[in-house]
């Protein structure tokens, strides 16, 4: 029965090798670490990639034809921390002269600047935030904006809706050529989409939700937005 043992060992060997080689996929490097869990209180002195930087990149850089996974303009993809590091040279370099991300958003030629004309440049506040994030180590960090519990009734236009839309939607939904023909640049425009039901349905779709290409809004934000809409979308 020796031949039987030999055959079974030889038969099992390749399967073992395949399993071992799958466990050590050579293409998964340190850049491919998973995103951190959203936990812990937000420290106002820290800048958080997942909460503050990624939404700026998604809203201003990943629209159709630009730096999303499908179009990969100039090979650059800005839809995640991992892809930012893999496709933008020196994106974490604290020397801003070398950092290609900082250089692109500051370029004085409007055609080379990102986002390029006719899009508006990032605001000074957004640029400062990105610089501070790099200075603090360009970490893939996240914090829980609803730490300590969710109060769905705490939903005002001025403190919730306007800042959220500015951070996560305006890059695609403003200017002369807004995505999907949808403009959300002022209260009147936002109110119209709030009251026709499309604002809420767009952020709660099961696929291609808004912000397009970004993380789904957290459950608490969804509840607060819904509460504000149910009040008649007041300018409070």
Number of C-beta neighbours around residue 67 at 10 A: 26
CA–CA distance, 52 with 129 (Å, rounded to integer): 8
On whether the CB atoms of residues 80 and 49 are closer than 8 A, the answer is no
Number of C-beta neighbours around residue 106 at 10 A: 16
Q: Does 202 bind ligand HEC (CB under 6 A)?
A: yes
Per CB under 6 A, the segment of 24-32, 108-116, 135-143, 203-211 that binds ligand HEC is: 203-211
Per CB under 6 A, the segment of 113-121, 126-134, 148-156, 171-179 that binds ligand HEC is: 171-179
Per CB under 6 A, the segment of 5-13, 104-112, 140-148, 201-209 that binds ligand HEC is: 201-209
Per CB under 6 A, the segment of 14-22, 24-32, 140-148, 177-185 that binds ligand HEC is: 177-185
Per CB under 6 A, the segment of 6-14, 70-78, 84-92, 209-217 that binds ligand HEC is: 209-217
On whether the CB atoms of residues 50 and 35 are closer than 8 A, the answer is yes
Number of C-beta neighbours around residue 54 at 10 A: 24
| Between 62 and 99, CB nearer to ligand HEC | 62
Interface residues for ligand HEC in 83-102 (CB under 6 A)? none
Size of the site for ligand HEC (CB under 6 A): 24
Residue of 180, 195, 219, 230 that binds ligand HEC (CB under 6 A) = 180
Which CA distances in Å does 7 have to 10, 169, 178?
5, 62, 65
User: What residues have CB less than 8 Å from 65, skipping those under 6 apart?
Assistant: 71, 73
Residue of 88, 169, 194, 229 that binds ligand HEC (CB under 6 A) = 169
Q: Does 203 bind ligand HEC (CB under 6 A)?
A: yes
Q: Does 115 bind ligand HEC (CB under 6 A)?
A: no
Query: Nearest residue by C-beta to ligand HEC?
Result: 180
Q: Does 191 bind ligand HEC (CB under 6 A)?
A: no
Q: Does 224 bind ligand HEC (CB under 6 A)?
A: no
CA atoms 122, 127, 129, 131: torsion sign? positive
CA–CA distance, 196 with 90 (Å, rounded to integer): 44
CA–CA distance, 106 with 3 (Å, rounded to integer): 72
CA–CA distance, 166 with 16 (Å, rounded to integer): 52
| Residues of this chain that bind ligand HEC (CB under 6 A) | 58-59, 62-63, 165, 168-169, 171-173, 179-180, 182, 193, 198-199, 201-203, 208, 210-213
């Amino acid at each position: 029965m020796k031949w039987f043992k030999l055959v079974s060992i030889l038969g099992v060997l390749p399967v073992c090798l395949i399993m071992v080689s799958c466990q050590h996929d050579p293409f998964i490097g340190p850049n491919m670490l998973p995103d951190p869990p959203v936990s812990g209180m937000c420290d106002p002195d820290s800048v958080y990639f997942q909460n503050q930087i990624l939404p700026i990149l998604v809203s201003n850089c990943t629209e159709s034809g630009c730096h999303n996974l499908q179009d990969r303009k100039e090979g650059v993809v800005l839809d995640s921390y991992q892809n930012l590091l893999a496709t933008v040279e020196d994106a974490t370099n604290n020397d801003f002269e070398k950092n290609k991300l900082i250089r692109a958003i500051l370029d004085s030629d409007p055609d080379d600047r990102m986002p390029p004309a006719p899009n508006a440049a990032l605001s000074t506040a957004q640029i400062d935030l990105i610089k501070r994030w790099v200075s603090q180590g360009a970490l893939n960090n996240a914090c829980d904006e609803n730490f300590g519990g969710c109060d769905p009734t705490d939903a005002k236009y001025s403190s919730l809706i306007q800042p959220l839309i500015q951070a996560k939607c305006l890059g695609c939904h403003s200017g002369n050529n807004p995505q999907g023909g949808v403009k959300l640049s002022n209260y009147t425009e936002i109110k119209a989409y709030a009251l026709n039901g499309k604002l809420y349905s767009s952020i709660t779709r099961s696929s291609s939700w808004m912000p397009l290409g970004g993380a789904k809004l957290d459950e608490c934000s969804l509840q607060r937005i819904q509460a504000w809409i149910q009040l008649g979308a007041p300018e409070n």
